[in-house]
Structure 1
């Protein structure tokens, strides 16, 4: 299969799962980019962030129209998440300066640990 076709199919499957479950690309796409397609982790993080931005806009509009959104919760979360994500990107840039290409190993480990933690919490908690 052509690489471009494979990427389109991956995007379609991930986009469908995002629309269906609300899980972000960090859980679905990032591991595929890093472990499946062999993209360096730091490039995968940036690619995943842009993919999420583009993908979440249409699904967010649909959820707003269907009144599936708790706006006060979203505003409060965004108040912390927007600056937090900017801090995270800057921290990643700093780690890249310090560790060079070794930052990719850090990201892979962090992604693996977070996936295990989140999966475990989803399985054992009644309400997260």
Structure 2
């Protein structure tokens, strides 16, 4: 698993790390029970602070993607896919709420909004 971070990106380094590890888990590159790099080794390989990696791992653990075992390291959690899907659904709901507010304020009907969503969703298929 290769993790690449950039100081020039708009997102914080810890977020870049956690996003890439989540993606590796969801794609199957990292399997349930598989060890992920230690905090120290990842910090050293990326030339960043240990605290930054610890924050990324803490976020991953809070979201249920990894489990930490004292003295043994961090491993991919078995519950990760459900947590990820729930997280993505929350993001979609937030965007839908914003879109609905704009549609209501503009007088756009639910039918038109549904048609627009359908067109946009099918556009890249």
TM-score (norm 1): 0.30
- Higher share in helix: 1
- Higher share in strand: 2
TM-score (norm 2): 0.30
Higher gyration radius (CA): 2
